[in-house]
Amino acid sequence: MRDIKNIEAIEMTAPQEENFMRKIQAEEKIEPKDWMPEAYRKNLIRQISQHAHSEVIGMQPEGNWITRAPSLRRKVVLLSKVQDEAGHGLYLYSACETLGISRSEMIEQLQSGVAKYSSIFNYPTLTWADVGAIGWLVDGAAIVNQVSLQRTSYGPYSRGMIRICKEESFHQRQGYEAILELAKGSPGQKEMAQDALNRFYWPALMMFGPHDSESAHSQKSMEWKIKRETNDDLRQKFVDQTVKQIEVLGLEHPDKAIKWNEERGHYDSSDLNWDEFWSVINGNGHCNRQRIEHHVAAHEEGEWVRDAITAYNDKKRAKKAQNAA
């Protein structure tokens, strides 16, 4: 009897899967109420929630400098940027909730270590130049990755990325402008800018993830058009665009092996320290424990606000029901 039911389920699913793949190939968006394979849904939840966690955790290293920004203008710009990142997290959590997972479940996964966030945010911001380097390099790498996500196959994610990319573009420009001012300043300021570049360049390249051959999710993500470009292709784009930016700054490139390859039409570069990458991913970075501890503390301190909102909404619904009766 069980075998018959399994056969019937397969027969019912086959046309749905064919229609799903037809939409993917025709560049039609998959919407929350559409049928989708369970593996597609889980892949999206993993990627979108990781993206949301990265935006929220990414507020910490820069938020640490809001009170110490060197001028009122820098303070206002940085405050606006950190607020944008909170908004990005909200867009992405909301998009992920359309897949049937709750916000509280996603946050529990983050705080328990089940879900990951971008490894770059486990590096400390030691100087003001680090804040500029994050805007220039980290948000620059994010833009390279996220521009193609505007065309991702899942509708809510795609639409959210359009807004996010516009704001990330602002973040990248303000970071580069801050580094440019330091690079054109005193010898001490230029040295500070060079130091920040040296420390954040390599972790920024690690943001694109492992080599394609070692990525557990890339193949299916490409097939379903969740991702449009591979990790290695995106990393190469970032390497290529950064060379000229470093030249304009008048700084030294951290990769002494960087060299234009005429045949490939790209720059050849050194390989990354993959031992460091996996170590940070697995929780052994400079700030892994600090970042999560801070998130847990902030979440617990804000519990009374969430309880108050829930109680107020319950009261409104009860009053509405009473009036209707």
Task: Assign 3-class secondary structure to the chain.
Answer: CHHHHHHHHHHHHHHHHHHHHHHHHCCCCECCCCCCCHHHHHHHHHHHHHHHHHHHHCHHHHHCCHHHCCCHHHHHHHHHHHHHHHHHHHHHHHHHHCCCCCHHHHHHHHHHCCCCCCHHHHCCCCCHHHHHHHHHHHHHHHHHHHHHHCCCCEHHHHHHHHHHHHHHHHHHHHHHHHHHHHHCCCHHHHHHHHHHHHHHHHHHHHCCCCCHHHCCCHHHHHHCCCCCCCHHHHHHHHHHHHHHHHHHHCCCCCCCCCEEECCCCEEECCCCCHHHHHHHHHHHCCCHHHHHHHHHHHHHHCHHHHHHHHHHHHHHHHHHHHHHC
pLDDT of residue 9: 47
Can you name the residues that pair with 267 across neighbouring β-strands?
260
Tell me, what's the pLDDT at 1?
A: 45
Give the pLDDT of residue 12: 53
Domain ranges of the chain: 13-285
Check residue 230 and give left, alpha or beta (phi > 0: left; psi -120 to 50: alpha). Answer: beta
Dihedral-angle region of residue 314 (phi above 0 means left; psi in -120 to 50 means alpha; beta otherwise): alpha
Q: Which residue has the tokens 């030249």?
A: 247
Q: Could you tell me the sign of the dihedral formed by the alpha carbons of 309, 310, 312, 316, in that order?
A: positive
- CATH homologous superfamily for 13-285? Ferritin, core subunit, four-helix bundle (1.20.1260.10)
Q: Is 59 in contact with 110 (CB distance < 8 Å)?
A: no
Q: What pTM did the predictor assign?
A: 0.89
Chunk the chain into consecutive blocks of 10 residues (it has 325) and report each block's average pLDDT, rounded to whole numbers.
Answer: 46 81 96 96 96 96 94 95 96 97 96 94 97 96 93 96 92 96 97 98 95 79 92 95 97 97 96 94 92 95 93 93 86
Residue 59 backbone dihedrals phi, psi, to 5 degrees: -70, -25
39, 223 Cβ separation under 8 angstroms: no
Q: Would you state the pLDDT for residue 2? A: 47
Nearest to 141 by CA among 168, 174, 180, 178: 168
Integer Cα distance of 236 and 227 in angstroms: 16
Nearest to 137 by CA among 77, 196, 186: 196
Please tell me the distance from the alpha carbon of residue 2 to that of residue 7, in angstroms, as a whole number: 9
